A and B are shown apart, each in its own frame.
Chain A
Amino acid sequence: MTDRGGPRWGRGRTALVAFAVVTALAAGGVWLGQTSDRASAVDAAPKTSAAVQDVKEDGKPSDGLPTVRDCGIGAPEVKPRVITLTCTDVGMVATEISWKKYGAKDALGVGVVQVEKTAAGAETDTGFPATFRLYGPKRVDGGLAFTSLEVTYEGSTPLGDTTEMYNLA
């Protein structure tokens, strides 16, 4: 049996070495992958690129429908895609609004509220999906404009309330 001791130990050692090498390779691969990702090239920003195009193609007719004047001072806009909610610091913005209904008395749309600072003080890495309702059209500066906005969050909320009211006038 003693003459077989050597090769058997050798086999065990080979298996251990193989195990160590594979582990080291896996760890090294991941580490390399991570470091190369950190120094990554500039990635595309598809939504921003789309927004750049939209901005260039802006300028829709009002068709007599009530407009929205952002913070009461912005240019009147029908079916705005972006509405600023907190006008003092511009830290909360309703974005990506798609309007399901945009009538003369009220309008209903869904979108995402982007927040710079949440109630907890930390920045989140996602927006807050919400439903937006515009109502209370009034004649302002010769045009018809919605004066109130109701935001109803579908899931988590940035400030704690499920429903928030904003004055657009």
Chain B
Amino acid sequence: MGIRGRIALAISCMTALAVVVLGFSVHHIADLERERSARAYQDDRLSSALQIYERDGTLALGAKLDDGTLPSPLREAVFKKKSGTYVSGGEDPRVWAATGVGDGDGSGPLRSLSVSAPYPDDDPSQQSLDRALLISGCGTVVLMAVVSWFVSQRLSRRLRLSAAAARRIAAGAEPDADALASQGRDEVAELGRSVHHMAMSLAARVEAEREFTADVAHELRTPVAGLVAAAELLPQPRAVELVRDRAQAMRRLVEDLLEVSRLDAGVERADLDACELPSLVRGIVQRAARQRGVDEADEVSVTVEGEPRIVETDRRRVERVLVNLLANAAKHGKPPIEVVVAGARIVVRDHGPGYPAELCAEGPRRFRTAAPERGTGHGLGLTIAAGQAQVLGARLDFGAAAEGGAEAVLELPERAGRVCPTDP
């Protein structure tokens, strides 16, 4: 239930409660008043009847002498020299008034003079009052529900606008200052402003990170290239090898950073052409050894499940994704590494400790190399893999394999996937 419905329900419940309490109170007060006036009227009648009886000895206004049906509490009161009124219950509820007469010697009345009138439980006026209370109560509750629905609609609409604006920002849109930075002074406006400020601050931070990566990569490229060239000129073969290896590693890092910054800038476009996925993957795995140090010891196996597919995709980018996944598996996981091609889906599985939970939940982040069990690294490989997959329009999910170990699933878009002839 939305906040609108909940506010309407709460107000309706409170109104219903107030109506119930008020209704019962009015009913009760009306009942008391009815009884009071009935008693007072019988008192009037009895006083008149008493005056006539005392004067003329006649029984006026339906008064009775020594009525056998006089309720016993009233009878007791009368013979204690008290005049009183009484409401009797039972089958035939009546309101009574009685007094004593014939107090000859002062010891107490000899006889009782009483009047009575029916006092039905289902009094028509009381019933019509109850009916009016019920109808007006229900009407009030319904009216309050409708009114509170419309009142809470306004609040709810502003919250939904804020949520929509926050969603747009999360999806990558620019913060909409008009939608969020309202001038109101209430809590909803405050929330909107907070979301706006948070979005602005996050966007600024992301932009700074992006610029930093691009700048660093750009600035490092030239000296690293010079370093690689200069290493070639060193006289000692061992030193040359060491310096060359480190310089190459540094160049790869710089290239990765540049790739990350290009992906960040959103200028990369996929260059699509049709290719048979299993053979593409086999070629990539063979080349991976040369590119990223995936060697024989890693026991990389390629399995094809189901019909081989021809997929319209960007070979180079699929290679970047797969090579980075394989390099990550070789570096942080344990052999054997399995690559399974099933339709347009490529699964890379290793038998190491698996991806850290944070990575599975939030995806890879640059320079964030998770937990110690995944060893050290720059955290750029998987960032690039995820970025390239996005350029391809593919899905890249990181998770855990059923039998343990890390499992990355690359799901290429189905747009041009079709079954190719099995054996040409």
Contacts and interface: CB of A to CB of B under 8 A. Distances in A.
Interface of A: 15-16, 19, 22-23, 26-27, 29-30, 33-34, 37-52, 54-55, 58, 70-71, 73-75, 77, 81-82, 84, 90-91, 93, 95-96, 112, 114-116, 123-127
B89 interface: yes
Interface of B: 10, 13, 16-17, 20-21, 24-25, 27-28, 31-32, 35, 37-39, 41-52, 54-56, 58-62, 73-74, 77, 82-87, 89, 93, 97-99, 117-118
Most chain A beta-carbon contacts within 10 A, residue among B16, B20, B43:
B43
Contacts, number: 146
B52 A23 contact: no
Contact of B51 (A15, A23, A27, A82): A82
Contacts of A55: 50-51, 54-55
Given A54-B51, A77-B55, A40 B44 contact: no
B13 A127 contact: no
Given A30-B24, A84-B60, A116-B62, A43 B54 contact: no
Nearest to A42: B84
6 contacts: A23-B20, A45-B98, A48-B47, A70-B56, A84-B56, A125-B117
Nearest to A25: B21
A90 B77 contact: no
Most chain A beta-carbon contacts within 10 A, residue among B17, B48, B86, B93:
B48
Contact of A39 (B21, B46, B82, B89): B89
B50 A30 contact: no
Contacts of A96: 44, 48
Contact of B59 (A34, A39, A90): A90
Contacts of A34: 28, 31
Nearest to B38: A125
Contacts of A116: 61-62
A15 B41 contact: no
Given A38-B87, A55-B54, A125-B38, A47 B44 contact: yes
